[in-house]
């Protein structure tokens, strides 16, 4: 496994969702990371950095690589990189129903900052978005 800064090139093996998501999120304000395994993109994170804050817009692990700790590994590496850049706080948003992601974020030190009520549309109506924050460095 290895980390790389994300570029606008992907192997034919990369899931279409991964490649499509990256194309719209490039530029000097972004810190995009990918984790590769066996020459295949296994996971990615898209983060925007503005001044001393960062927002994690998206993190995903290829279904073939899930339940192996790659999400945690990627987040830990991202947090280290953000700390080196002097980022004070990392923000993210997660669906209230995504218990696995919330547990991961909490285990890394994220705290609930606020809730956006009825933010996500669902088949049953709407679902809350939980805004979480991680203090990184001072």
Q: Would you please indicate which residues are annotated as catalytic (active-site) residues?
A: 93, 105
Q: Is 69 marked within a binding site?
A: yes
Q: Is 70 marked within a binding site?
A: yes
Give the C-alpha distances (Å, rounded to integers) separating 12 from 17, 35, 39, 40, 87: 12, 16, 10, 9, 34
Q: Is 71 marked within a binding site?
A: yes
Q: Is 61 marked within a binding site?
A: yes
Q: Is 68 marked within a binding site?
A: yes
The beta strands (E) that lie in the chain are given as: 2-5, 30-37, 40-50, 53-61, 89-95, 111-122, 125-135
Query: Binding site, residues?
Result: 59-61, 67-72, 98
Residue ranges of the annotated binding site for acetyl-CoA are 59-61, 67-72, 98
């Amino acid at each position: 496994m290895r980390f790389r800064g994300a570029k606008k090139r992907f192997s034919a093996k990369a899931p279409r969702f991964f490649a499509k998501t990256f194309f719209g999120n490039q530029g000097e304000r972004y810190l995009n990371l990918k984790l590769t395994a066996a020459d295949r993109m296994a996971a990615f994170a898209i983060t925007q950095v503005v001044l001393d804050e960062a927002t994690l817009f998206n993190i995903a692990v290829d279904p073939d690589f899930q339940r192996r700790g790659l999400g945690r590994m990627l987040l830990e590496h991202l947090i280290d990189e953000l700390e080196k850049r002097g980022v004070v706080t990392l923000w993210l948003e997660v669906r209230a129903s995504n218990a696995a992601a919330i547990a991961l974020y909490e285990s890394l030190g994220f705290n609930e900052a606020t809730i956006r009520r009825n933010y996500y549309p669902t088949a049953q109506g709407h679902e809350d978005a939980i805004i979480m924050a991680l203090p990184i460095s001072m």
